[in-house]
Amino acid sequence: MSDIFIETKGRAGRITLNRPKALNALTYAMCLEIEKALDAWRDDTSVEVVVIDAAGDKAFCAGGDIQEMYDTGITGDYSYGRTFWSDEYRMNAKIAEYPKPIIAFMQGFVMGGGVGVAGHCSHRVVCETSQIAMPEVGIGLVPDVGGTLLLSRAPGGMGEYLALTAARMGPGDALHAGFADTFVPREYWLDLISQLEQNGDVTKIAEVAETPPDAPLADKQERIDRLFEHGLDGIVSALEDDGSDFADVALKAIRRNSPLAMAVALVNIGRAREVDEIRAVLGFEYEYTYRSMEHGDFLEGIRAAIVDKDRNPQWKYALGDVPISVVEEMTANLGPNALAL
């Protein structure tokens, strides 16, 4: 059975991720197929909109399929991972810059690579089961696939909070943070997609939109702004001093994650606020991901979370001891190896 279904139906180009047992994790081949379809439909006048959805109830896409990256990287071969990332990022950029409407239907888990597919679409639909997150720092990576751009545009310190804690957003918070546009109950999705196929009219989305559920993180926006204001060490100190249940939960999450990755993530969010387009941000992200297996915590993070599953990663640096010089090295321009889109 194919990992991805691609077809045209009526006026819509249709892309359906089809690995429900693997939470629709994105493989390298799936990235290339999505890009190929977008290229084919760009100038096809019979295709007026693109609809991206996924099979199953548990996930739109829970991230990238990183097993092959680990298997090759652990042998000292970093080329596969670098090629995967560069080609995936090119696909992310094409989604963000696409001249036709792309509607993503995001049920269940939408994480990492899933955000890279859905988060840059022109119309991002969530439902009551949606759980969106950028959890990369937990495996020694930084938020990537253009997710740093979304984090940098979130209100106040929300982007820093989401990046460092890998917190999951329900539909209400996803709308508040700018990771989604519209809440439509799942029961209406099939009919809505059918209408989009028939007439290509994206105004149909607003006709079935409803007020989203509560947004608990949005209710804590003022506290988040205050606590996530000053660098990694400053954030940790502020959380320790705050002493609230919210701060304790956030601090516990931060202490699990890669200090190096978190430090770089904060730098990247700051840099993303200074630019206006996704290609520059993808370039920032690639500076770390390119180096992440050889010089970062990525392989150790995968070992602890996926391979040995001991949940006890041995990060390169302790919290509070990440040298500024190393952060600068991990975010330095790659010269001839820089991301070329």
SS3 of 182-218: EECCHHHHHHHHHHHHHHCCCHHHHHHCCCCCCCCCH
pLDDT at 65: 87
pLDDT digits (tens, 9 = 90+) for 210-243: 999 899 999 999 999 999 999 999 999 999 999 8
* Helices 278-292 & 79-96 angle (0-180, nearest 10): 170
pLDDT digits (tens, 9 = 90+) for 271-321: 999 999 999 999 999 999 999 999 999 999 999 999 999 999 999 999 999
pLDDT at 252: 97
pLDDT at 208: 97
What confidence tier does 147 reach under pLDDT thresholds 50, 70, 90?
very high
For tokens 């520059």, the residue is 280
Distances (CA, A) of 179 to 226, 227, 245, 321, 340: 22, 22, 26, 32, 26
Q: Taking residues 124-152, what's their average pLDDT?
A: 98
How many angstroms separate the CA atoms of 110 and 62, rounded?
Answer: 5
- Average predicted confidence (pLDDT) for the chain: 97
Q: Taking residues 91-119, what's their average pLDDT?
A: 98
What confidence tier does 80 reach under pLDDT thresholds 50, 70, 90?
very high
The answer to whether residue 199 scores a pLDDT higher than 80 is: yes
DSSP-assigned beta bridge partners for residue 131:
109
Active centre residues (catalytic):
64, 113, 136, 144
The answer to whether residue 160 scores a pLDDT higher than 90 is: yes
pLDDT at 313: 97
| Number of domains composing the chain | 1
The answer to whether residue 167 scores a pLDDT higher than 70 is: yes
The edge-to-edge listing of strands for the beta sheet with 12-17 is: 4-9, 12-17, 49-54, 102-106, 123-126, 182-183
The answer to whether residue 203 scores a pLDDT higher than 80 is: yes
Give burial (CB, 10 Å; 0-12/13-18/19+) of 76.
exposed
pLDDT at 91: 98
DSSP-assigned beta bridge partners for residue 9:
12
Do the Cβ atoms of 112 and 135 come closer than 8 Å? yes
CATH number at residue 110: 3.90.226.10
The answer to whether residue 131 scores a pLDDT higher than 70 is: yes
How many angstroms separate the CA atoms of 222 and 31, rounded?
Answer: 38
DSSP-derived 3-state class of residue 109: strand
What percent of the chain has pLDDT above 70?
100
What confidence tier does 1 reach under pLDDT thresholds 50, 70, 90?
low
Q: Structural domain of residue 159, as residue ranges? A: 4-337
How many angstroms separate the CA atoms of 279 and 275, rounded?
Answer: 9
At 158, phi and psi to the nearest 5? -60, -40
The secondary element (H helix, E strand) that includes residue 284 is helix 278-292
